[in-house]
Chain A
Amino acid sequence: MTTRIDTRFAELKRQGRAAFVTYVMAGDPDPATSLEIVKALPKSGADVIELGIPFTDPMADGPSIQAAGLRALKVGMTLKKTLELVRDFRKGDNVTPLVLMGYYNPIYIYGVDKFLADAKTSGVDGLIIVDLPPEEDDELCIPALKAGLNFIRLATPTTDDKRLPAVLANTSGFVYYVSIAGITGAAAADANAVGEAVARIKRHTGLPICVGFGIRTPEAARAIAEKADGSVVGTALVDALKNSLDAEGRATAKTVNAVAELTAALAQGVKGAQQAAE
């Protein structure tokens, strides 16, 4: 099975450049604006979209993404509406890979089989579920692979060589390397340390490796893109969105553009990277 993710990374490899992966929260600050933002991402240079599933208790996220989730929940966002958003996005874009990222409970409550079927028909390509390590692969990972969705695993600085094979075993699409031990939006990643980690993971897998957590600026995105197959930016985009809202937390005329402009600047950074020879 080939997903849009596989196709996109093969294409980028031919072009000899790294992917720019963007994260935004579904339904933030409201479902309609959120759809416009997601539509604007590929037009502004995003190669892969990660779309957050709002959850009340995001244990691995910093204050910015916690607040984004709560903004979305406050206006009634749900997992069902998140899938509707993807379906609406797919009406105008059938090539950009889209990955849902979040926590297991909303999916578990939706029902795993029903969720996978609905995600597939909505046009979702892959899943990143933070609280499902390989030890819990029976829950969602194996069923997702059977349903034709990529299951993208997080590897972290604490994932040593002994553990890497287990982490990579059922991973597909790409590997998401979490550049720091920490939560989203925290300390900046050190590009050299990231380079070493990426090289280490590459000894175990042929999958593309994207790096996220702590990347906020075009310069940082570029530095990471020189060491890895992709740079992921989330918190900086969520912050740009938040800064465009009015005092009541509602979207303004500037909101979609605020995210699009930062996306374009970051994409320029990534595209300027000189990829290391493999």
Chain B
Amino acid sequence: MNIAKPNSYRSGPDERGHFGIFGGRFVAETLMPLILDLEKAYTAAKADPAFQAEMNGYLKNYVGRPSPLYFAERLTEHLGGAKIYLKREELNHTGSHKVNNVLGQIMLARRMGKKRIIAETGAGQHGVATATLCARFGLECVVYMGAVDVERQQPNVIRMEMLGAKVFPVQSGTRTLKDAMNEALRDWVTNVHNTFYCIGTVAGPHPYPTLVRDFQSVIGNETKAQMQEIEGRLPDSLVACIGGGSNAMGLFHPFLDDPSVEIFGVEAAGHGLTQLHAASIAGGRPGVLHGNRTYLLMDADGQIQDAHSISAGLDYPGIGPEHSWLHEVGRVNYLSATDDEALAAFQLLSKLEGIIPALEPAHAIAKVMELAPKRPKDHLMVVNLSGRGDKDVPQVGDILRGKK
């Protein structure tokens, strides 16, 4: 490939929101002034020590950070290779990494004087985090969720409603995450005067991919410090699952300029890459959707194709634009895990470590099962355990009973 290696992998995006050819601001004119306002508000907030101090206070006392970096001793023994550490994002308040980003965006929304918050959600983790912080700060909350996902992630729907959010099951299109995002954008265009769109992943128009990444980078920054304290050095590899890719970007970004650190992103291969799947990098190509240019699953006419994953949180035909760029420049290796591999990993981690992972990070664990045995015992591997599996217990229970 003739793509030049940059001096730093951490300097993007440019002032127009581009990571190489990816990213940008592909939105309707109605939204453009608001996106420019958001960029201004975010730039001002970043430069304001009071903003960071307030956020750190909530991260510590409300979210429960720092999340532990835990040595998974039995998983390590079982796989017989690399020393595996779990970054325990599933221990955060609300049960996943999503809350890190939502806290930041809700604080931005408050600075901008917005009283109504909308969000899209796939697995419901982002919706739950948004509903939680809206309850905490007394804001109106509306969550768009594909009707298919409402069905398979009932526990999270109930949680959002208990927190006072209004959940709209989206019936258009494929009735999953991409359609929830379309519907959230339609709401935003309609209620642009009082509404803040709290996007759950490192996608959408600039500046969202950047601000979500920045709010999630607490994961990687903590990991770096914790590993230094425990092992006295950098980890040798990082592994994280990717739908839109916010937990992965949060872990990866602080390490991008540490060349000794191997980085692996794991997409959802669904039934397999030759069948229905959700692996945009493995099976897609660059296109434009939801405000950014990025790898997308689509047909020859540029029509967006249905994604499939057992995990509602990964069931999206795109990926954050910075991931597309990191793929093209070769800094991150993008792999994929099938539904069956994720289910096996889900069970393995539950039984060996007493930790029931969400189906999303079970995809990352599935690749750890392949990568770790091939590496020496002094190799330090960190996997982002981005969410807990409570929400998936009914679905996985049904599948396992059906299989037995």
Contacts and interface: CB of A to CB of B under 8 A. Distances in A.
A62 B190 CA distance: 11
Contacts of B192: 158, 181
A109 B172 contact: no
Interface string A114-144: 0000000000000000111111100000000
Given A183-B186, A183-B190, A136 B25 contact: yes
Contacts of A70: 173
B32 interface: yes
B287 interface: yes
Contacts of A178: 29-30
Grouping DSSP codes into helix (H, G, I), strand (E, B) and loop, the B interface class, with mixed when no group exceeds half, is: mixed
B173 A181 contact: no
B102 interface: no
B28 A154 contact: yes
B164 interface: no
A108 B302 contact: yes
A159 B185 contact: no
A192 interface: no
B26 interface: yes
A140 B269 CA distance: 34
Nearest to A82: B301
Nearest to B304: A56
Task: Give the interface size class of chain B.
Answer: 35 or more
A181 B190 contact: yes
Nearest to A159: B29
B190 A104 contact: no
Contacts of B25: 133, 135-136
Contacts of B173: 56-57, 66, 70
B193 A153 contact: no
B288 A181 contact: no
Which of A63, A178, A181 neighbours the largest number of chain B CB atoms within 10 Å of its CB? A181
A133 B303 contact: no
Nearest to B179: A57
Which of B24, B189, B192 neighbours the largest number of chain A CB atoms within 10 Å of its CB? B189
Interface in A154-190: 154-160, 163, 167, 178, 181-183, 186
Interface in B358-388: none
Given A56-B173, A105-B288, A136 B24 contact: yes
A134 B32 CA distance: 9
Contacts of A78: 301
Given A108-B287, A181-B190, A186-B190, A73 B303 contact: yes
B172 A106 contact: no
Given A57-B173, A178-B30, A109 B302 contact: yes
Given A80-B301, A108-B302, A163-B33, A131 B172 contact: no
Contacts of B178: 57
A225 to B, nearest CB: 23
Nearest to B33: A158
A130 B28 contact: yes
Nearest to B174: A56
B298 interface: yes
Given A55-B303, A59-B185, A63-B172, A158 B27 contact: no
Given A59-B182, A183-B190, A133 B32 contact: yes
Nearest to A183: B186
B335 to A, nearest CB: 26
A156 B190 contact: no
A105 B298 contact: yes
B26 A131 contact: yes
B283 interface: no
A75 interface: no
Contacts of A163: 32-33
Nearest to B25: A135
A57 B304 contact: yes
B146 to A, nearest CB: 13
Given A59-B185, A108-B287, A135 B32 contact: yes
Contacts of A136: 24-26
A109 B30 contact: no
B28 A60 contact: yes
Contact of A104 (B26, B34, B296): B26
Contacts of A240: none
Nearest to A55: B303
Given A57-B289, A59-B186, A156 B29 contact: yes
B272 interface: no
Contacts of B33: 158-160, 163
A145 interface: no
B289 A154 contact: no
Interface string A182-211: 110010000000000000000000000000
A180 B298 CA distance: 32
Nearest to A133: B32
B29 A182 contact: no
Interface of B: 16, 24-34, 172-173, 178-179, 182, 185-186, 189-193, 287-291, 293, 296, 298, 300-304
Q: Which 3 A-B pairs have the closest CB atoms?
A: A109-B302, A106-B302, A182-B190
24 contacts: A55-B302, A56-B173, A57-B182, A57-B289, A59-B28, A59-B186, A59-B290, A60-B186, A70-B173, A79-B302, A105-B287, A105-B298, A130-B28, A132-B26, A135-B25, A154-B30, A156-B29, A156-B30, A158-B30, A159-B32, A163-B32, A181-B193, A182-B190, A183-B186
